[in-house]
Structure 1
Amino acid sequence: MSSIELRMRGLQGNPALTQFKHGIEREALRITPSGSLAQTRHPSVFGSPLTHPSITTDFSEAQLEVITGVHQSVESCIQELTEIHTFIHHGLDEELLWPASMPCGISNEEGIPVARYGESNAARFKEIYRVGLGHRYGRVMQTISGIHYNFSVPDAIWDLLAKIDGTSSDQKARDDGYLRLIRNFRKHSWLLIYLFGASPAVCGSFLQNKEHNLHRLDASTRYLPFATSLRMGPLGYQSEAQSHHRVVYDSLPEFVNSMIPALVESHPVYAKIGIRDGDVYKQLTDALLQVEAELYSTIRAKRKTRPGERALVALRRRGIEYVEVRCLDTDPFDPLGITVGTAKFMDVFLLHSLLTPNEGESASQSARNLDNQAKTVHNGRDADLELVAPDGARRFADWAQEILEECVAIASLIEDVSGESDRQLIVEEQIEKVKDSELTPAARLQQLMVERKQPFASLGLDEDMMQMSLSHERQHDFNEVARQSERDREAIEASDEVPFESYLADYLSFREEE
């Protein structure tokens, strides 16, 4: 019996299979009724983006980031996401949320306002970081949006796995387990890009001064016939400089040690930009990464940070707490950008990644991961596509089918405990997508544009959120959270005691004391 079968048998019938924790983050551009990027400030009705727990901004002042709390139930997580979106839609006046991952209606870099957070040191830090991103990658790339799916494993599962594997259940064992999950996820993330990729086309305005091989669909739309997620390819969230730096995921100390040089050593490309021009900051630092969040990856190891604490220091001190999946396109067919079915499938896929044996990720395997991702991005819907496995070339459909059949068994494990009847059906729906690429979101979106002769720039928005309303009590709750966030921002600004230069130097120093 294989290791994954032993682990599955050991987990069978255990109620802990219903105790995974979930959270969802969605980025979305605010646009005008004519489809251009909004030039207005972050709406005051949403409170302070510096301190609001649920509604903030990403790169741009016009790029909302919606954040749910932590939920044990997928349904309750989606319910909170629905309520936040309902509150937002009724606070946008005439503006709308762009429904796709790839931006449109952007005429030039100067037309993309960088997010503002206030006058505190923390606010300046966040703004300068974004200014730096603009200098490094261009502001247009930073307006690409997506879905982030956060997932954590309950203590009881870790205890069971330790018993099954004959190991301890301490934090090191959990770190090792999360890193095994991450390695397997990186090895198989091409499958998620195929199943949920929804960016086979881009607006012509996005391609200004960019080299590409996209085909013309209409006067304003460019696409690739078999593409799945251009967001996850060279035209999307990618960094040429980062591609030459290998991050190691074999153990937490190795991960931390492989990250530190990228955060502290000057990089020649970014040194040319300069850190300051007189009193004006152009970036936080000239290292490969200004902060840990700049690392482009399909999945991240995460730990909640304390005030002023670096993400890497938090991981080194207290270990991995959860993972953040970052390769999901916004679903343009759903007003929330993600469905209950997608979220439930993610749980199954992530549990599969946790249970599957994986002894390490070599440099050659890391290169295969990137190669398979690129092939799926550009040609994922080509029936003849082959990927590269450790033992040689594999037909895409065969490999995908094999993984998904294992996921059916894992879905059954969860159903046996939860009483749900839809997990296996959700996985089987993904198998149907592998059998028929026309069922994928990318194909559906492309068909919509071709058959209806609808340019990417004129994608319609589902008005379901506008038809919904919050109860008086929930509306009051959201209004009070917004007001409290403004009070919190003011308190932070009043509590600053050191100049920004000292604040920045302290943050960049990697202090280890508790």
Structure 2
Amino acid sequence: MNYNAALTLPDTQRLAGIRRGIEKEGLRALVNGALALTPHPTALGAALTHPHITTDFSESQLELITGAHLGVEDCLEELRRTHQFVLRTLTAQCEPELMWASSMPCGLPTDETIPLGRYGSSHVGRSKSVYRMGLGHRYGRRMQTISGIHYNWSMPGIRSEEYFSLIRNFRRHAFVLLYLYGASPALSPCFVEGRQHQLQPMGHEGKAFYLPHATSLRMGRLGYQSDAQASINVSYNGLEGYANSLYDALTRPYPAYQLVGVRNPGGDYNQLGTSLLQIENEFYGTIRPKRMVKSGERPLHALRERGVEYVEVRLMDIDPYEDVGIHGSTMRMLDVFLLHCLLSDSPPDSPQEIADIKHNQHLAAERGREPGLRLLRGGREVELAAWADEVLQACRPIAEALDQVHGTQDYSAALQLALTRVQDSQQTPSARVLHDMEHDFGNQFNAFGLARSQWVRDQLLARPWAEGDEAQFRAWAAESLQAQRAIEVATVGSFEDWRQHYMAAQQLG
């Protein structure tokens, strides 16, 4: 499948109207590199209602959220200011904390000790915690502490079917991004303790496990994977097929989860439901079609009623060499890559191709820098490097068009950097991580991660900080705490009645 030069590029106004936003996860860590087990700091506001600072799976796992921006640098600057406020808050505590600068987690306690996110006493707040309890039962809590960067992207005038065309091509070519930007080739021994794995000890002391040519263990078999979800046959050939396959996973009972039950004998909740997926967000994938939801609305219902509004790219690792985990060049390459996926011919996927895509993802994540590595393409083997070069070469007219729209050469420069990394794998972040771990940190993952986290802290705290920024973030924190209290005061009825209503099949549309 090749870029079709006969397809016309979108007009200047549409290209200028591309919006992007970032959701960046990161663990709170102590200055010794261990997971911080303290509650979400009150000074950061309420995780339930804050517009820019919340938590992901764990109470110890921050998630920083930007708005949708027309400019790459504007998006980065908002993320940077949010990072600054968070780090100023964490370092001012009695026991200072850091934001861990790697996708693979810092030193973890026992699985059951990792704290679940807490969102107050309202029904919606309780449901978020119960959902996380279910994730812990289903996949283990350690897996959920993996962090990443989600890139939300839209362009004016794209219909739902065109977004699904983009998604199919993105999945076909996702290996390119794993190779270029994967930054998790190694991990702490605590992450795999008691688990079967094929990783190798790094050095003689066993202070890290790795694979020599890995790009992103986060996106490999040790990451966001499960046998249960492997049984979901999701179709990306259109909104109706996608919605129907997701509906099936959300309503089909799964025997292993039925054994866990919704509640234990003492009455405490184990999970929201016993279906294959509790809610839509439990479905893992490298990219998702998304739509803003109304209060109390299920995401699948919103998609069915109003169509796809944007896509969420979910395979990006945190770059430990960037202060906020992602560089502007990477964001520009994502814009180019997503446009390439949109404009290229995109035939319907098939069960065989879906299997090949999964195979390719695992190979690229675990062996992506291996010389001569071959992937499956249309029933034949092709070298990863040759295929990646072909995809990127086809991106040239798109990068040039975006340069013209924005009066810059930055998009072509981002593409050239990507092409250089395809030619020389030692220039990829994953290769750099392994080199630095070996030469500067005695093959110790935690020592490397701690050093990068301290560097991020120092870089961001050294940047200018305006009184107006401080006042704005303090106001957001106070308003979010007040908003959570208002939701709790307005909560009526039993949580069980609310749960049954929210989880009812008719709520899915």
Q: Measure, in 1, the Cα distance between the counterparts of 2:14 and 2:125.
A: 40
Per the alignment, in what secondary structure is the counterpart of residue 151 of structure 1?
strand
What is the aligned counterpart of 1:45 among 43, 46, 69?
43
Corresponding residue number in structure 1 for 2:161:
176
What is the CA-CA distance between 1:331 and the residue it aligns to? 0.5
- 1:349-368 equivalent positions in 2, closer than 5 A: 349-368=337-356
Corresponding residue number in structure 2 for 1:164:
none
Q: Measure, in 1, the Cα distance between the counterparts of 2:422 and 2:148.
A: 22
- 1:490-509 equivalent positions in 2, closer than 5 A: 490-509=485-504
Q: Measure, in 2, the Cα distance between the counterparts of 1:428 and 1:473.
A: 39
On the 8 A contact 2:4/2:343 being kept in 1, the answer is yes
Q: Measure, in 1, the Cα distance between the counterparts of 2:60 and 2:43.
A: 14
What is the CA-CA distance between 1:391 and the residue it aligns to? 4.7
Q: Measure, in 2, the Cα distance between the counterparts of 1:40 and 1:111.
A: 12
Q: Identify which range, 211-220 or 221-230, moves more after superposition.
A: 211-220
Per the alignment, in what secondary structure is the counterpart of residue 149 of structure 1?
strand
On the 8 A contact 2:396/2:415 being kept in 1, the answer is yes
What is the CA-CA distance between 1:476 and the residue it aligns to? 0.4
Corresponding residue number in structure 2 for 1:170:
none
- 1:11-410 equivalent positions in 2, closer than 5 A: 11=10, 14-93=12-91, 94-155=96-157, 158=158, 174-218=159-203, 219=205, 220-277=207-264, 278-410=266-398
On the 8 A contact 1:199/1:231 being kept in 2, the answer is yes
Per-residue CA distance 1:456-483 (angstroms, 9 max, x = gap): 1112122201212421111101100110
Per the alignment, in what secondary structure is the counterpart of residue 179 of structure 2?
helix
Over 3 Å counting, the alpha-carbon distance change for 1:464 and 1:268 in structure 2 is same
Q: Measure, in 2, the Cα distance between the counterparts of 1:377 and 1:77.
A: 28
On the 8 A contact 1:239/1:296 being kept in 2, the answer is no
Over 3 Å counting, the alpha-carbon distance change for 1:512 and 1:107 in structure 2 is closer
On the 8 A contact 2:15/2:155 being kept in 1, the answer is no
One-letter code of the match for 1:369?
Answer: I
Q: Measure, in 2, the Cα distance between the counterparts of 1:4 and 1:322.
A: 23
Per-residue CA distance 1:64-114 (angstroms, 9 max, x = gap): 000001111111000000000000000003100110000121131133111
- RMSD of aligned Cα (Å): 1.4
Q: Measure, in 2, the Cα distance between the counterparts of 1:128 and 1:512.
A: 19
Q: Measure, in 1, the Cα distance between the counterparts of 2:312 and 2:37.
A: 30
Over 3 Å counting, the alpha-carbon distance change for 1:512 and 1:131 in structure 2 is closer
On the 8 A contact 2:26/2:99 being kept in 1, the answer is yes
What is the CA-CA distance between 1:11 and the residue it aligns to? 3.0
Over 3 Å counting, the alpha-carbon distance change for 1:3 and 1:456 in structure 2 is closer
One-letter code of the match for 2:170?
Answer: F
Per the alignment, in what secondary structure is the counterpart of residue 246 of structure 1?
coil
What is the aligned counterpart of 1:482 among 455, 477, 482?
477
Give the alignment's TM-score, normalised by structure 2.
0.95
One-letter code of the match for 1:65?
Answer: E
Per the alignment, in what secondary structure is the counterpart of residue 29 of structure 1?
strand
Corresponding residue number in structure 1 for 2:432:
444
One-letter code of the match for 1:101?
Answer: S
Q: Measure, in 2, the Cα distance between the counterparts of 1:390 and 1:46.
A: 50
Unmatched segments (≥5 aa) in structure 1: 159-173
What is the CA-CA distance between 1:454 and the residue it aligns to? 4.6
On the 8 A contact 2:14/2:155 being kept in 1, the answer is no
On the 8 A contact 2:247/2:508 being kept in 1, the answer is no
Over 3 Å counting, the alpha-carbon distance change for 1:513 and 1:405 in structure 2 is closer
What is the aligned counterpart of 1:473 among 427, 449, 468?
468
Q: Measure, in 2, the Cα distance between the counterparts of 1:213 and 1:276.
A: 36
Q: Identify which range, 469-478 or 75-84, moves more after superposition.
A: 469-478
What is the aligned counterpart of 1:458 among 442, 447, 469?
447
Give the alignment's TM-score, normalised by structure 1.
0.94
Over 3 Å counting, the alpha-carbon distance change for 1:485 and 1:419 in structure 2 is same
One-letter code of the match for 2:461?
Answer: M
What is the CA-CA distance between 1:275 and the residue it aligns to? 1.0
Per the alignment, in what secondary structure is the counterpart of residue 300 of structure 1?
strand
What is the CA-CA distance between 1:422 and the residue it aligns to? 1.2
One-letter code of the match for 1:142?
Answer: Q
Q: Measure, in 1, the Cα distance between the counterparts of 2:490 and 2:4.
A: 52
What is the CA-CA distance between 1:512 and the residue it aligns to? 5.7
One-letter code of the match for 2:46?
Answer: S
Over 3 Å counting, the alpha-carbon distance change for 1:512 and 1:135 in structure 2 is closer
On the 8 A contact 1:270/1:286 being kept in 2, the answer is yes
- Paired residues in the alignment total 494
Q: Measure, in 2, the Cα distance between the counterparts of 1:11 and 1:38.
A: 47
Q: Measure, in 2, the Cα distance between the counterparts of 1:30 and 1:469.
A: 23
On the 8 A contact 1:387/1:395 being kept in 2, the answer is yes
What is the CA-CA distance between 1:395 and the residue it aligns to? 1.0
Q: Measure, in 1, the Cα distance between the counterparts of 2:162 and 2:270.
A: 39
On the 8 A contact 2:372/2:383 being kept in 1, the answer is yes
Q: Identify which range, 349-358 or 409-418, moves more after superposition.
A: 409-418
On the 8 A contact 2:208/2:443 being kept in 1, the answer is no
Q: Identify which range, 81-90 or 420-429, moves more after superposition.
A: 420-429
Identity of aligned residues (%): 42
Unmatched segments (≥5 aa) in structure 2: none
One-letter code of the match for 1:189?
Answer: A
